[in-house]
Amino acid sequence: MRKFWLSLVLFLAAAGAAMADDMVGRYAATGVTPEDQNYQGEVQIEQVGNLHVVLWKLEGGAAYKGVGIRQGNVLGVAYGAADTKFGIVVYKVDGGKLEGVWADTRDLKSELGKETLEGSPDLNGTYKITLGQNRDGMTNYSGTIDLKRNGNTFLVYWPIKPPALGVGVLVDDMLVVAYGSNPTKLPGVVAYKSSGSDMEGLWAFLDLKKSSTGSVNIAPPKKPGTETLKRQN
Q: Which of 67-76, 139-148, 216-225 has the lowest mean pLDDT?
A: 216-225
Q: Is the pLDDT of residue 215 over 80?
A: no
pLDDT tens figures, 180-195:
998 888 999 999 999 8
Q: Is the pLDDT of residue 21 over 60?
A: yes
pLDDT recorded at residue 13: 44
The model's pTM? 0.88
Supply the mean pLDDT for the chain. 88
More confident residue, 134 or 213: 134
How far apart (Å, rounded) are the C-alpha atoms in residues 72 and 96?
20
Half-sphere exposure of 145 (CA within 13 A, CB side): 28
Q: Exposed, middle or buried: residue 228 (CB in 10 Å: 0-12, 13-18, 19+)?
A: middle
pLDDT tens figures, 34-63:
999 999 999 999 999 999 999 999 998 889
Q: How many domains does the chain have?
A: 1
- Per-residue HEC secondary structure of the chain comes to CHHHHHHHHHHHHHHCCCCCCCCCEEEEEEEECCCCCEEEEEEEEEEECCEEEEEEEECCCCEEEEEEEEECCEEEEEEECCCCCCEEEEEEEECCEEEEEEEECCCCCCCCEEEEEECCCCCCEEEEEEEEECCCCCCECCEEEEEEEECCEEEEEECCCCCEEEEEEEECCEEEEEEECCCCCCCEEEEEEEECCEEEEEEECCEEEECCCCCEEEECCCCCEEEEEEECC
pLDDT recorded at residue 12: 44
Q: Which domain holds residue 19?
A: 2-231
pLDDT tens figures, 99-122:
999 999 988 888 999 999 999 999
How far apart (Å, rounded) are the C-alpha atoms in residues 202 and 228?
9
Q: Which of 8-12, 107-111, 173-177 has the lowest mean pLDDT?
A: 8-12
